[in-house]
Amino acid sequence: MWKLISLTFLLFIIAGCTPIIKQPTPAVTPRPTIPIQPDMVILKLKRNNDNPIQITYQEIKALPQVTETLFDKEENGVRLLDLLQHYGITNFSTITLSGNGQSIELAKDQITEEVLLAYTKNYNLKLASPQIPKSQWIKTVMRIEVH
């Protein structure tokens, strides 16, 4: 049997053909995850002309946590209203959420109990709301400006 295999391989080489040798599939290397530090600033909140408030991951996690089903998917995070109230912001006309080249301005009446800053798998915050089309959600909210 081995003679037959060797002879077939030799005939391929003599004929100028390259035998097909199946290479093993390389193992998929998982993406490294960046560990989040509790004191890592993940959001800046700017009120009027004040210096921005730097909010850490730990401070976000200390706020009341909620889970809502939006567009058939469970979203976990904090209510935007809870975050604003925690920092003493109750009187405003609009806010602008922005990050990674995206931004959206919301009027005060658009910010209901259902508007969330939901956690992403990369420990960022995203805007999630049933009143806003999913295509307009800010995927990485890094800054909130109060007007």
Q: Confidence class of residue 37 from pLDDT cuts 50, 70 and 90? A: confident
Of 125, 134, 90, nearest in space to 111 by CA: 90
pTM: 0.74
Q: What is the mean pLDDT of the chain?
A: 85
Q: In the structure encoding, which two tokens stand for residue 137, read together? A: 């959600």
Structural domains of the chain, ranges and CATH numbers in brackets? 31-146 (3.90.420.10)
Nearest to 59 by CA among 81, 74, 38, 76: 38
HSE of 89 in the Cβ direction (CA atoms, 13 Å)?
22
Q: Is the pLDDT of residue 125 over 70?
A: yes
Distance from the first to the final alpha carbon of the chain: 83
Cβ atoms of residues 21 and 15 within 8 Å = no
